[in-house]
Amino acid sequence: MNIEKRISFMGVPVDAMSMQETVDTILGYIERGEAVQHVAINAAKILRIIEDSEVRRTVRRCEVISADGIGVVWASRAIGCPLPERVAGIDLMDNLIMEAANRGLKPYFFGAKQEVVEQTVVHYQERLPNLQVAGYRNGYFSKEEEQEIAEEIRDSGAHMLFVAISSPKKEIFLGHWRDVINVPFCMGVGGSFDVKSGKVTRAPLLLQKLGLEWAYRWRQEPKRMLRRNVIDMPKFVAAVAAHRVLGLEVPSS
C-alpha cells in the first residue's frame, strides 16, 4: 500500500489518490506479481464497516482503498482530511481493462446474471480487440460452491478480477478466498456490469460532475437505491456529525 497517501477517514483507512495515481499503483502491484485487493468506499460502505466487524477486517486488509462516493469526498473536506477526487469503481475498471488490453493482461469477470456478465465481456471485446479475457462467471452460487469458484479463478491465469456482487457479500467472499484465488489484483465493482451490458444507463457526465449520479440511479432502480438514499445517507450524515463534534470513529476491531 502507498503509506504516504493513506489517510484516516473517521477511523477508516482511505488512499488520498487521484484516478491516475490509483491506476499506476495497481499496475505496479500487478507488475510485481503481488496479490492485492481493492475496495471502494462510499457512505453505505462506511456504515457496513461500522456495523459489521468482518467487513471492517476485510476492508482494513485491502492494499488499495478508494473513495467511490461523492458523499465521502465532500465529508472528507468537512472534517479536515480532504480527498483529491472521487475514484469511481466503474471508471477505474474501464481504465484498468484498457491497460490490460495494451499490456497483454487478462481480466476475469465474476458476478451479475449470466446474460449480463456475458454481454459485459462482449462490450469490452468489441471496443478492445486486443483484450484477452481469462474467463467469466455469473454471481449466483451456494456456500458449498465458493472454494470451487475460487480455484477456477486461480487456474484461469487472470491478472485482474472484477466482482459484480452486492455488498457486503463480495467483500466477505474476497476477504475469505483471496489467498486461494491468488490473482494479482481483485476488486468489487458493484452494479458496473449492469451498466456495461446495457441493462441500465449511467448518469450523464454533467450529473456525475455535480455529484448527482445517485439521483439518476434512484430514478432507474428505485428499489435497489431505496435503502441507500433513505436510510443509509441520513445515518452517514449523523456519523460524520458525531465525528466532527465528538470525535467518534469507526471501532478499531
Residue 210 has pLDDT above 80, yes or no: no
CB 43 within 8 A of CB 76: no
Torsion of CA 120, 49, 25, 152, to 10 degrees: -50
Query: Range with the lowest mean pLDDT among 15-29, 107-121, 145-159, 192-206?
Result: 192-206
Q: 222 lies in a domain?
A: no
Torsion of CA 28, 162, 225, 59, to 10 degrees: -50
Q: 236 lies in a domain?
A: no
Q: 49 lies in a domain?
A: yes
Q: 227 lies in a domain?
A: no
Tens-digit pLDDT profile for residues 52-65: 888 999 999 999 99
Domain carrying residue 96: 3-195
Q: pTM of the predicted model, to two decimals? A: 0.91
* Gap between the Cα atoms of 79 and 36, Å rounded: 29
Q: 207 lies in a domain?
A: no
Q: 216 lies in a domain?
A: no
Tens-digit pLDDT profile for residues 112-150: 999 999 999 999 999 999 999 999 999 999 999 999 999
Structurally, the chain folds into a number of domains equal to 1
Tell me which of 4 and 150 has the higher pLDDT. Answer: 150
Assign residue 151 the CATH number of its domain.
Answer: 3.40.50
* Gap between the Cα atoms of 11 and 163, Å rounded: 26
Tens-digit pLDDT profile for residues 182-200: 999 999 998 999 999 999 9
Q: 231 lies in a domain?
A: no
Residue 232 has pLDDT above 80, yes or no: yes
SS3 14: strand
